[in-house]
Chain A
Amino acid sequence: MPNLNDILIMLPEFYLVVAACLLLLLDAFMKSTERPMLHWISIAVLLVGIYLVIAGQPAQTVTAFGGMFVRDRVAEILKVFALLTTAIVFVYARPYLIDRKLVNGEFYTLMIFAVIGIMLLVSAGSLVTVYLGLELLSLSSYALVALNRDARLPSEAAIKYFVLGALASGMLLYGMSMVYGASGMGGTPTLDLAQLHHVTSYTTAPKLLLFGLIFMIVGIGFKLGAAPFHMWIPDVYQGAPTPVTAFIASGSKLAAFGMAYRLLDAGMGDLAHQWQLMLAVLAVLSLAIGNLVAIVQTNLKRLLAYSTISHMGYLLLGLSAASPEGYAAAMFYAICYALMSVAAFGVILALARSGFECEEISDLKGLNQKSPWLAFLMMLAMFSLAGVPPLVGFWAKVLVLESAIHANMLWLSLVGVVFAIIGLYYYLHVVKVVYFDKPAEGSVLAAKPDGSLRIVLSLNALALLALGLFWGPLLGWCRSAFGL
């Protein structure tokens, strides 16, 4: 029987489940004219969630439900930023949803359920919790992609996402079953990640364990969107409603990092020498495919999709170091990436209006003439993604490169910088379109008058600059999570 203490440890998650259910009820009994209220209520729900995560943080790592759920600093930091970026996405989404008459409870409840999935995933102490969190996040995401169900492109994207996602889940589950089996050979079978850590020392089936690991890495690679498991990313990014894309590109990536960390370090830490090289290969492939294919994209959302793939390559650089420094660097990277990409999508959302998605790169022509402030914010986001100082994206890259060198993988860091040069081109291309091109004839570019969006977007993009100048505290926080 779960005791009160277990529930208290999981209070933020329980609170969000209750809140999401209440939101659904509220939605059902609300008049359609009152619906926009849901927006503010949902943001408040997430902000209270952040408060609960921070306020209830125990002094040291605690576990609940017999080790199924771990509450430590890694989880805390990831949860705070997942909730924060989702709240930002809500703010950005409002005018977009109103224009397209999509304002209803489904969007908000599904998003909150997805966030609960993220929170479970990053707090997972057992293979079952990993799978549970992952499925909650994934199923909510599938539905979110298909939110605009009458349109062809989103439906296509959702089907693709679902089919490939199901396949990846299957792979992951298959791998988990092998690991579970291997743990039972020569000992008691276990799903607990902390106990799985020691399986290598006694199992009589090391090959089975290794096979399980490989299948689990496929699942992780899919969730991260690392090449060669990246196929779904471009279509889903382009097809999904832009706010949903923003969410998949930000909060969801934090979850993927959390999942990789839990499975690989907590669960399979003893096999680090095995998975290090696998991750390095994934990193090189992601860097190559992401950066090279992005060059030829004309659709901004698709471009950002390939950019995601390349950024996951950098994140993997940090993970493959398999050291606390490397994890801290990768977590710093994941957080910075979430903030950068959500800012880039924020600019798209600030410009989109009914009948105009603003998702072609050429749609941004002459933005500096029409709205210099938005152009400036877009420039900050692009230079940060490209990794040009003094923006925070640069320091994130420096950190993962350093951790790769630290792990005696100088070659990997060289691959990383070479692709940073190639990647620079397409980010500069966007800046070029925004700043150097003249507005097209009859261009309808104009900033949305939505006040909250403007303020939050400005804060979001300026945070990239501010964090670039003062990245010490965030790094210190990330490092403290790994005991540094």
Chain B
Amino acid sequence: MLGKLFKHEWKATWKLMVIMNAAVLVLSALGAVFFYRNSAVVKPLFDSLERTKDGDTLYMLACMGYFMLLVLSICVLAVGCTIYFYVRFYRNLYTDQGYLMHTLPVTEHQLIISKTFVCIIWRIISALVVLTGFLVLMSSVFSEDFRLMDIIKEINKAIFDMGMIKGMIFLIILILGMLGKAIFTTFTGYTCISIGQLASKNKVLAAIGVYFGMRVVMQMITTFGSQYLAIIGMMAPDMWFEMFENNENAMIVFFGIAVVVEYLICGAMYMITHSVMQKRLNLE
């Protein structure tokens, strides 16, 4: 049943997500052509433009307009993806459509997992699309100085300079951290929407209130934690050095702890969402 839920969730969401991702890719590709000034096709065009003062202004305006459009499309993709899946979760499970979804022969776990899985896949795809677009654009703008292979080699070198095992651990923590962030963002919305359902009226408003409350608490914990570590580092640098020997070790340990905490919070949020759905469901 989980496979069927996943199939229908994918079918219901792919069109809009493809359009949003395609918009970012097309804009990045257009920008790449636009800025690739050594190209035999584009160079004469810009040369003729820049011979006049008006040409310069026009070129600058076009650049600014383009970058604004690109940044806007990336923001729409990032924020839009998040909001779209939050709204879909709410509409599909807590409004009239919930009468169908909650009377399917499936468990609440399957409902939550299928929606989370599709949302996370689209988050990963969107992140890759933005990264690809950015790299294509950069390699075009700085065509002489920007070499993608050089950057990959540099990253590779930095990781392996840590040592084979340490480098691999760091890489794994990095990937888990990025995945954890996607799960965390998804569950934050799902949990707030579910907690909002406990209000007798104005459930959406209650969900928004819970969301901001949760953000403030998380921010306070993060700030307090990082400040606490910084103070220890400043006040007892010897102890710091004895504990970790070098900065790389400290980075791996603290980053690892942060990732574990992130997954624990995700687990707690999952349980809250499931509990509301199973025990406190009350569709209007």
Same complex origin of A and B: no
Mark A residues whose CB is within 8 Å of B: none
Q: Which residues of B contact A (CB under 8 A)?
A: none
